[in-house]
Structures are given as structure tokens and as C-alpha cells.
């Protein structure tokens, strides 16, 4: 299934849309990095963001697919280190929204599903974001790896697709149409707050 996914923070001040999302346009991964966990802890949304294994289930989309129609002034951003990846949230109610690289030149956004207004969709969110393709950035013991880690084939299939998308979004200029970086200066729209934890 494909749809424009409505984006909405918990209090409703931030509203927007992730356009034309379907399993062929979303790389869904579960990320186990320390940065995602620190972000969840910092905005006190661990229950929403983290699964029982400490992973965050995100789907990567084109930066140009996301837009905001209200409340963009409430968007806040934090990072673990001065040069680290950026994690975006609605500061009005601490709803997680997206992760990005520190620069728009690596063109994808990882959307945290807590900001998707899933009740407004015709089908379950999984029908649009697709299945989990891989679990990344984790250290798994042998038993966990068997049940949790996506098989290497899935990861290998995902990487070329991801590389192709990035090339396409660079070449088409889609990377400049991100709502999270200023069009002219390429600076993040909110000054990133450094919370001082290694991102790996
Ligand atoms: Zn809000
Ligand atoms: Zn992560």
C-alpha cells in the first residue's frame, strides 16, 4: 500500500506529511546505537521509541518526502557529540520525529513512527513502511543474533537500494528540499543541543 502518511506530534501543534510512502520507498531498520537510546532517554520517550531489546524501529525516506504544515517553530534538535548525527523532535510535547546526518548532503531521514498518525491510515503502518530489513549498530550474543538480526541477504539487498536512493536524491536536488535544513544556508533549522554521549 502507499499513502501520504500524516505526521502529528502528541499535542497536535506540529503537523505535516511524509509523502508517497510505500515499502519500495522506505528502508525499515531497527537501530541499536547508543545515540538512539540517549535520545529516547533525553526526551523521556523510551517506552515509545525502544523495543524490549533497546532497538528503535525507524524507516528511512527521502528528505524531500517530509514536509510540515504547522508548528515548525516547535521543532528541536539534539546530537550526542559536536559533530554527531541529528535527532529531531517536537519540543512542544517531546514527540520523536526523525534522525538525520549532521549535513543534508547525506540525504535521508529516519522517521520515528511515534510521529505518524497511524489512526488516520486505511491500513496498518506496516503496510506502508514494509518489514524490518535489518537490525543495525547492535552487539548481539549468539542467541539474540539468531532471532533478532536480519539475515545477511536482507542487509545486502538493502544497501545497494539505499546507495542508489542517495545518489538519486543528490542528483535530483531532493536533498535540498528537506524541511529540517535551511534552504539557503544549509544550516539545521534548530540549533542542535549537544548532550555529550558517544554516538556509536
Ligand atoms: Zn507537540
Ligand atoms: Zn540509532
Q: How many angstroms is it from 34 CA to the middle of ligand 2?
A: 6
Closest ligand to 100 CA? 2
Residue 99 pLDDT: 97
Closest ligand to 80 CA? 2
Q: Residue 157: phi, psi to the nearest 5? A: -70, -30
* Residue 21 reports pLDDT greater than 60: yes
Helix (H, G, I), strand (E, B) or coil at 172: coil
Pairing of strands 56-61, 66-70: unpaired
Q: How many angstroms is it from 192 CA to the middle of ligand 1?
A: 18
Measured CA to CA, the distance from residue 135 to residue 15 in angstroms comes to: 29
Confidence bin at 196 (pLDDT 50/70/90): confident
Confidence bin at 191 (pLDDT 50/70/90): very high
pLDDT tens figures, 125-157: 999 999 988 888 777 776 776 667 656 677 787
What's the average model confidence in pLDDT over 74-101? Answer: 96
Q: How many angstroms is it from 36 CA to the middle of ligand 2?
A: 4
DSSP state of 181: B
What CATH fold (topology level) applies to the domain 3-194? 2.170.150
* Cα 86 → chain centroid: 10
Question: Quick count: other Cβ atoms within 10 Å of Cβ 84?
Answer: 21
Amino acid at each position: 500500500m502507499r499513502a501520504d502518511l500524516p505526521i502529528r506530534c502528541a499535542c497536535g501543534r506540529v503537523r505535516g506529511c511524509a509523502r508517497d510512502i510505500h515499502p519500495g520507498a522506505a528502508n525499515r531498520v531497527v537501530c541499536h546505537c547508543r545515540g538512539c537510546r540517549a535520545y529516547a532517554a533525553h526526551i523521556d520517550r523510551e517506552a515509545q521509541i525502544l523495543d524490549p531489546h533497546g532497538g528503535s524501529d525507524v524507516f528511512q525516506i527521502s528528505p524531500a518526502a517530509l514536509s510540515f504544515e504547522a508548528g515548525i517553530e516547535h521543532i528541536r534538535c539534539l546530537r550526542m557529540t559536536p559533530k554527531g548525527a541529528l535527532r529531531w523532535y517536537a519540543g512542544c510535547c517531546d514527540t520523536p520525529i526523525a534522525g538525520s546526518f549532521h549535513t543534508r548532503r547525506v540525504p535521508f531521514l529516519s522517521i520515528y513512527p511515534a510521529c505518524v498518525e497511524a489512526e488516520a491510515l486505511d491500513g496498518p503502518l506496516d503496510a506502508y513502511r514494509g518489514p524490518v530489513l535489518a537490525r543495525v549498530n547492535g552487539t548481539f550474543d549468539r542467541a539474540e543474533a539468531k532471532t533478532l538480526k536480519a539475515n545477511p541477504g536482507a542487509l545486502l539487498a538493502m544497501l545497494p537500494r539505499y546507495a542508489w536512493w542517495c545518489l538519486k536524491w543528490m542528483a535530483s536536488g531532493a536533498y535540498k528540499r528537506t524541511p529540517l535544513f535551511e534552504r539557503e544556508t544549509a544550516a539545521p533549522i534548530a540549533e542542535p543541543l549537544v548532550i555529550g554521549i558517544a554516538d556509536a
